[in-house]
Amino acid sequence: MQKVFVTGAAGFIGSNVVDRLLDEGCTVVGWDDFSTGQEDFVRQALKSEQFELKRGDNLELENLAKAMAGCDFVFHFAANADVRFGLQHPKKDLEQNTIATFNVLEAMRQNNIKRLAFSSTGSVYGEASVIPTPEDAPFPIQTSLYAASKLAGEGLIQAYCEGFGFEAYIFRFVSILGERYNHGHVFDFYKQLLANPDRLKVLGDGRQRKSYLYVQDCVSAMLHAIDLTTAEQAKHRCEVYNLGVNDYCSVRDSISWICDFLGLNPELELTGGDRGWVGDNPFIFLDTTKVRGTGWEPKLSIREAVIRTVAWLKENQWVFDKR
């Protein structure tokens, strides 16, 4: 089994990947700057002798390269995931998503590590003209700094594959839900309902259609696409996969599932308009034919994923104090 380096190891998706990799028998080096990562999310992993946690910043290339030494494979998940607030601090996406990805690639090159998985986003399709949107959809126009910075990361990775013989797996996620979920609209809605169970402010008209994927299904999909069992030589290739379920729901749907589960019936205060914020995409639904070709199928529906998320938030209300 491989020795795997995970950036963003204490984050929502990263920490779930770490736990699964340990279950599968990998040795894992976790890397996080704990700007949004949570100690609690790696508590389980730290009980394993196969896990080592290192603190550091992706913008410090020298430390990053040192931490990565001896690993065979890199999952690069560390990112600024504040999609909505890009316009308030445009440099954050550039630094934490684009430049950080460049540093990860350079650190790999210094260590002669050539295999990589990257968490990109379905937002790189902008307002897609083809829905459900396949990986080879028409060349998009970017609509958010977040997606632009992830697209820039994709391009860098692809150029390293071509130029330096890297083997990369780029995953374009829909919104991910599940255990350790700690930002996004379900988080925001629950937080509001904790403060006032009778009223819920919703950005936009609530008719925005989005797709979601349960985090354990997300991790399974990645491990279906990547072979971690052999320490084989890197194959020069770059694969892009959409990750999501064959379905979508409206914001109103998810509100009704959340409220049913919590036994609440708040009055909705809709801010209006067909999108929640500048750069919000009113309809995201990805074609996941390619990843299904690996034999992977999601186990949870969107509704089940929403409910599982709310149940986890209910048991872990401490996360609301941490953001």
Stretch near a second copy under the rule CB under 8 A, chosen from 48-56, 128-136, 188-196, 257-265: 128-136
Q: Is residue 289 a contact partner of residue 160, using CB atoms and an 8 Å limit?
A: no
- Which residues on adjacent β-strands are paired with residue 6? 30, 75
Nearest distance from residue 159's CB to a second copy, in Å? 4
In the bound complex, what is the minimum distance in angstroms from residue 67's beta carbon to a second copy?
A: 20
Is residue 91 near a second copy by the rule CB under 8 A?
Answer: yes
Size of the site for a second copy (CB under 8 A): 42
Site for a second copy contains 19 (CB under 8 A): no
Separation between Cα atoms, residue 301 and residue 311, nearest integer Å: 15
Among 100, 137, 202, 213, binds a second copy (CB under 8 A): 137
Considering the rule CB under 8 A, would residue 58 count as an interface residue with a second copy? no
In terms of CB distance, is 141 or 195 closer to a second copy? 141
Determine the Cα angle at 311 with ends 203 and 322, to 5°: 65
Which of 11, 86, 206, 276 binds a second copy (CB under 8 A)? It is: 86
The yes or no reply on residue 297 touching a second copy (CB under 8 A) is no
CA-CA distances (angstroms) from residue 223 to 182, 227, 277, 295? 23, 7, 34, 11
CB of 86 to a second copy, least distance (A): 7
- The answer to whether residue 273 forms part of the interface with a second copy (CB under 8 A) is no
What is the C-alpha separation between 285 and 248, in angstroms, rounded?
6
Q: Is 283 in the site for a second copy (CB under 8 A)?
A: no
- Are the C-beta atoms of residues 117 and 237 closer than 8 Å to each other? no
Structural tokens at position 95? 């630094």
Q: Which is nearer to a second copy, 142 or 246 (CB)?
A: 142
Contacts of 47 (CB under 8 A, 6+ apart): none
User: Cβ–Cβ contacts within 10 Å for residue 146, how many?
Assistant: 24
Q: Least Å distance between CB 264 and a second copy?
A: 34
Does 135 participate in binding a second copy (rule CB under 8 A)?
yes
Q: Does 25 interact with a second copy (rule: CB under 8 A)? A: no
Q: Which residues contact 140 (CB under 8 A, 6 or more apart)?
A: 124, 125, 126, 128
Interaction of residue 8 with a second copy, rule CB under 8 A: no
Compare residues 98 and 111 and give the one whose CB is closer to a second copy: 98
For a second copy, which residue of 111, 144, 288, 309 counts as binding (CB under 8 A)?
144
Among residues 126, 132, 178, 206, the one that binds a second copy under rule CB under 8 A = 126
d(CA 66, CA 29): 12
Query: Could you write out the DSSP letters of every residue in 230-281?
Result: S-PPPPSEEEEEEE--S--EEHHHHHHHHHHHHT--PEEEE--SSSSSTT--
Q: Provide the terminal-to-terminal Cα distance of the chain, rounded to the nearest Å.
A: 36
| Token pair in block for residue 259 | 């409220």
Which residue do the tokens 């629950």 mark?
Answer: 190
Footprint of a second copy on 105-124 (CB under 8 A): 105-106
| Binding residue for a second copy, selected from 231, 264, 268, 278, defined by CB under 8 A | 278
Please choose, out of 33-41, 147-155, 174-182, 264-272, the segment that lies near a second copy by the rule CB under 8 A: 147-155
Which of these segments, 69-77, 87-95, 191-199, 289-297, binds a second copy (CB under 8 A)?
Answer: 87-95
Question: Which positions touch a second copy (CB under 8 A)?
Answer: 86-87, 90-91, 94, 98-99, 102, 105-106, 125-126, 129, 135-145, 147-149, 151-152, 154-156, 158-160, 162-164, 238, 240, 278-279
